[in-house]
């Protein structure tokens, strides 16, 4: 009986081991997801697509990356340890202002193959040239950053693609970069880097078992210390002894005869892993940055909700009917603002009114969505704008009543697109990045909404007016429709791939929204809205992102040869991304446009430029204090 029982036990031994292995793997996988690092899980490539690329076809041929561009700077790291080793060892790229990522340049073929097996590939547009992020301005002179244009960072070959890949986060991260002051922590990391490189080679040597154990123990001690210590103040009291022991151990390891190629391979391997980890954290940081940029701050959301609740609790007296005769009277000066942001719209209106000499003939039409409509109504009833008249319009409700057959039901604000530009006339000049804002889909139905008006001024809610806009109304637009700031850094011939087979002037310049004067009579004569609807059928996609992206080519084609170029004095743009604007230019400009990601009402806004915006911010509002809405 013993022999059959033994055979039965042997038969059950194999399945039991398999079951135990399965249970162990089932426990290991969740732990790996909890504590491991998976670059494809948190990277910005996984977020909903927020950008669409528009690539130009300039005169320059495509630039191929040289091996120097594709190789990491390993030589500098190797140089640090060289004495101890034995001898013998775009065409322009136009991108929308909401964040499209490019692939990381290949370091070498073997490393690229290893990464490609672990990370999903995303189809990416071809790249000709990439912009270089600007160096943060010098603040040692009392905070005056406008004395000169910001300088380029060191390492041009490495840094020049940063802004294309991570957007304005690169500028912001450089601006807020902290200097490494903890020398002991840095020294520990350097020692750990070298010890890891030498350990595999020392472990293979015969007769060096004691050195191998000491080196392994020192590596474990350093890893344990660095796992809980970020600055020198966190280090244990006997850390100097550990540093000294590691130095002696590394010196003994360097004195051994080892294959230099193995050390070189190990250094490169550690460097590649460190670069991957750095890139992963950069993508995480860029994602969080863009999340903070694209979402409404908690304080502003609280303000909107509190005002909405208060509106239904005690509805204000409707004073709009007292001035109803002004809303459709062409003799008054009508200003139109699209906005969902209460404070942004308030600053745009405040600055325009306070900068005007005469306010009795000013009429503001604030178009918002259903969610913020009642909050806007209550806010406007609680504040006065001198003699100017203000009307809040629920765009979504208006569309349902009058334009439900043609207009999109959702309110669209001005769309922004990030443009990387290289000057063809000056090949040696550095690439620069601009943010172009154009009309959204909602703008194209203004003639239908305001049928009795003849001329209007459209303001974006991220604009601050510093001078009287009265001379703007005296401009003779002739047969033009849209008075706008032209931007000739991008011409239509460079966008022919995205403009389709439509007929257009190849040498025409792009234009920008922000401050625009519109002749609605010429708009109707040229059938701009009908052109828009035809172009919309051609360019619109199935998703909301593609619909927003279509605003760029549609705006350029719909106003083809109908743009009246405004003088540069009327608006100065770049206050939402450019650190190098001159203070004198900002003071002398009629209006300031905060185009870009760093809006002044966000914590991520450029601090030096916020003062122009805060100058017109409402103070002493009870609901702002309750919600801590003080940008």
Q: Give the pLDDT mean for 38-52.
A: 33
Q: Pick the more confident residue, 12 or 490.
A: 490
Helix (H, G, I), strand (E, B) or coil at 434: strand
Contacts by 380-383, CB closer than 8 A, 24 or more apart: 381/316, 381/317, 381/319, 382/316, 382/621, 383/346, 383/618
Contacts by 305-309, CB closer than 8 A, 24 or more apart: 305/375, 306/623, 306/626, 306/627, 307/342, 307/374, 307/375, 307/378, 307/379, 307/623, 308/372, 308/374, 308/375, 308/378
The reported pTM is 0.68
The percentage of the chain sitting over the pLDDT mark of 70, rounded to a whole number, equals: 73
Task: Look at residue 425 in the predicted model and tell me its pLDDT.
Answer: 62
Residues 493, 499, 504, 509, CA torsion sign: negative
The percentage of the chain sitting over the pLDDT mark of 90, rounded to a whole number, equals: 35
In this prediction, residue 320 has a pLDDT band, given cuts at 50, 70 and 90, of: confident
| CA–CA gap between residue 259 and residue 8 (Å, rounded) | 53
User: Element (H or E) spanning 76, and its range?
Assistant: helix 74-81
Highest-confidence range of 52-61, 67-76, 222-231, by mean pLDDT? 222-231
- Of 47-51, 489-493, 537-541, 597-601, least confident by mean pLDDT is 47-51
| CA–CA gap between residue 420 and residue 97 (Å, rounded) | 11
Task: Look at residue 427 in the predicted model and tell me its pLDDT.
Answer: 62
> How many beta carbons lie within 10 A of that of residue 525, not counting itself?
11
pLDDT at 17 over 80: no
> How many beta carbons lie within 10 A of that of residue 373, not counting itself?
21
Taking the C-alpha atoms of 591, 593, 598 and 599 in order, what is their torsion angle to the nearest 10 degrees?
70
Task: Look at residue 29 in the predicted model and tell me its pLDDT.
Answer: 56
Q: What is the average pLDDT value for the chain, to the nearest integer?
A: 76
Q: Which residues contact 356 (CB under 8 A, 6 or more apart)?
A: 362, 468, 469, 470
pLDDT at 40 over 60: no
In the numeric block, the tokens 């998703």 are attached to: 543
Helix (H, G, I), strand (E, B) or coil at 613: helix
Q: Give the pLDDT mean for 107-118.
A: 39
Q: Give the pLDDT mean for 95-114.
A: 37
Q: Pick the more confident residue, 195 or 545.
A: 195
Phi, psi of 461 (to 5 degrees): -75, -5
| CA–CA gap between residue 148 and residue 154 (Å, rounded) | 18
Highest-confidence range of 41-55, 113-127, 180-194, 288-302, by mean pLDDT? 288-302
Task: Look at residue 232 in the predicted model and tell me its pLDDT.
Answer: 81
Helix (H, G, I), strand (E, B) or coil at 49: coil
Task: Look at residue 329 in the predicted model and tell me its pLDDT.
Answer: 92
Task: Look at residue 4 in the predicted model and tell me its pLDDT.
Answer: 52
Per-residue pLDDT of 119-140, as tens digits, reads 433 333 333 333 333 333 343 4
- Of 76-85, 252-261, 304-313, 321-330, least confident by mean pLDDT is 76-85
Question: In the numeric block, which tokens belong to residue 489?
Answer: 């850094």
pLDDT at 376 over 90: yes
- Of 127-131, 149-153, 459-463, least confident by mean pLDDT is 127-131
Q: Give the pLDDT mean for 345-358.
A: 95
In this prediction, residue 5 has a pLDDT band, given cuts at 50, 70 and 90, of: low
- 110-to-107, 284, 345 alpha-carbon distances in Å: 9, 25, 54
In this prediction, residue 54 has a pLDDT band, given cuts at 50, 70 and 90, of: very low
Per-residue pLDDT of 511-522, as tens digits, reads 999 999 999 999
Beta bridge partners of 420: 93, 433
Please list the alpha-helical segments (H only) found in 357-445: 370-382, 395-402
Task: Look at residue 31 in the predicted model and tell me its pLDDT.
Answer: 56
Task: Look at residue 19 in the predicted model and tell me its pLDDT.
Answer: 67
Q: Pick the more confident residue, 430 or 495.
A: 495
How many helices (H) and strands (E) the chain has is answered by 27, 14
Question: In the numeric block, which tokens belong to residue 58?
Answer: 């300039």
Per-residue pLDDT of 563-610, as tens digits, reads 999 998 999 999 998 888 999 999 999 999 999 889 999 988 999 999
pLDDT at 553 over 70: yes
| CA–CA gap between residue 599 and residue 575 (Å, rounded) | 8
Which conformational region is residue 561 in: left (phi greater than 0), alpha (psi within -120 to 50 degrees), or beta?
A: left
Q: How many angstroms from the chain centroid is the CA of residue 504?
A: 31
In this prediction, residue 455 has a pLDDT band, given cuts at 50, 70 and 90, of: very high
Q: Are 157 and 447 in contact (CB under 8 A)?
A: no
Question: In the numeric block, which tokens belong to residue 558?
Answer: 């719909």
Question: In the numeric block, which tokens belong to residue 11?
Answer: 């038969």
List domains and CATH numbers for the chain. Answer: 37-64+71-295 (no CATH), 296-627 (3.90.550.10)
Beta bridge partners of 252: none
pLDDT at 325 over 70: yes
pLDDT at 313 over 80: yes
Q: Are 335 and 364 in contact (CB under 8 A)?
A: yes
Task: Look at residue 275 in the predicted model and tell me its pLDDT.
Answer: 87
Q: Which residues contact 384 (CB under 8 A, 6 or more apart)?
A: none
Buried/exposed code over 261-296 (b: 16+ C-beta within 10 A; e: otherwise): eebbebbbebbbeeebeebbebbbebbebbeebeee
């Amino acid at each position: 009986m013993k022999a059959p029982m033994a055979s039965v036990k042997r038969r059950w031994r194999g399945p039991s081991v398999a079951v135990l292995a399965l249970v162990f793997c089932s426990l290991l996988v969740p732990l790996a997801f909890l504590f491991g690092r998976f670059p494809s899980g948190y990277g910005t490539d996984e977020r909903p697509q927020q950008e669409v690329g528009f690539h130009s076809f300039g005169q320059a041929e495509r630039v191929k990356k040289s091996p120097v561009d594709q190789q990491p700077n390993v030589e500098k790291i190797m140089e640090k340890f060289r004495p101890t080793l034995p001898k013998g060892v775009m065409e322009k790229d136009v991108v929308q202002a909401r964040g499209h990522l490019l692939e990381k340049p290949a370091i070498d073929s073997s490393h690229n193959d290893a990464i490609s097996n672990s990370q999903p590939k995303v189809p990416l547009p071809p790249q000709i040239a990439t912009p270089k992020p600007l160096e943060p301005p010098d603040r040692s002179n009392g905070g005056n950053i406008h004395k000169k244009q910001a300088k380029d960072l060191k390492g041009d070959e490495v840094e020049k693609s940063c802004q294309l890949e991570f957007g304005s986060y690169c500028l912001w991260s450089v601006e807020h970069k902290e200097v490494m002051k903890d020398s002991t922590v840095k020294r520990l990391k350097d020692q750990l880097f070298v010890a890891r490189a030498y350990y595999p080679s020392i472990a293979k040597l015969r007769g060096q078992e004691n050195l191998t154990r000491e080196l392994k123990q020192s590596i474990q001690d350093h890893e344990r210390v660095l796992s809980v210590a970020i600055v020198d103040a966190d280090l244990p009291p006997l850390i100097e002894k550990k540093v000294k022991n590691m130095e002696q151990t590394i010196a003994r390891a360097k004195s051994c005869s080892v294959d230099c190629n193995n050390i070189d391979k190990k250094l490169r391997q550690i460097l590649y892993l460190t670069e991957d980890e750095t890139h992963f954290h950069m993508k995480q940081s860029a994602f969080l940055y863009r999340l903070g940029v694209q979402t409404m701050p908690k304080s502003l959301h609280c303000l909107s909700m509190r005002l909405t609740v208060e509106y239904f609790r005690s509805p204000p007296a409707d004073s709009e009917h007292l001035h109803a005769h002004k809303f459709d009277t062409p003799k008054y000066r009508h200003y139109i603002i699209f906005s969902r942001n209460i404070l942004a719209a308030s600053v745009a209106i405040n600055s325009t009114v306070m900068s005007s000499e005469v306010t009795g003939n000013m009429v503001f039409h604030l178009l918002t969505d259903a969610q913020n409509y009642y909050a806007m109504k209550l806010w406007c009833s609680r504040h006065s704008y001198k003699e100017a008249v203000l009307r809040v319009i629920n765009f979504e409700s208006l569309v349902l009543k009058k334009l439900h057959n043609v207009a999109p039901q959702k309110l669209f604000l001005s769309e922004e697109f990030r443009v990387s530009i290289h000057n063809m006339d000056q090949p040696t000049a550095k690439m620069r990045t601009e943010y172009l804002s154009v009309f959204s889909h909602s703008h194209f139905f203004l003639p239908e909404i305001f049928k009795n008006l003849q001329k209007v001024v459209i303001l974006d809610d991220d604009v601050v007016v510093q001078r009287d806009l009265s001379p703007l109304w005296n401009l003779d637009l002739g047969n033009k429709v849209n008075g706008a700031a032209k931007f000739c850094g991008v011409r239509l011939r460079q966008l022919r791939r995205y403009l389709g087979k439509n007929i257009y002037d190849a040498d025409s310049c792009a234009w920008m929204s922000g401050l625009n004067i519109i002749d609605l009579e010429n708009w109707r004569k040229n059938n701009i809205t009908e052109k828009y609807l035809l172009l919309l059928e051609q360019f619109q996609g199935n998703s909301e992102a593609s619909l927003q992206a279509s605003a760029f080519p549609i705006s350029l084609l719909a106003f083809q040869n109908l743009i009246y170029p405004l003088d540069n004095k009327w608006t100065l743009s770049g206050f939402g991304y450019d650190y190098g604007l001159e203070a004198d230019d900002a003071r002398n400009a009629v209006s300031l446009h905060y185009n870009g990601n760093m809006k002044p009402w966000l914590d991520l806004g450029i601090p030096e430029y916020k003062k122009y915006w805060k100058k017109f911010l409402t103070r002493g509002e009870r609901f702002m204090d309750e919600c801590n809405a003080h940008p």
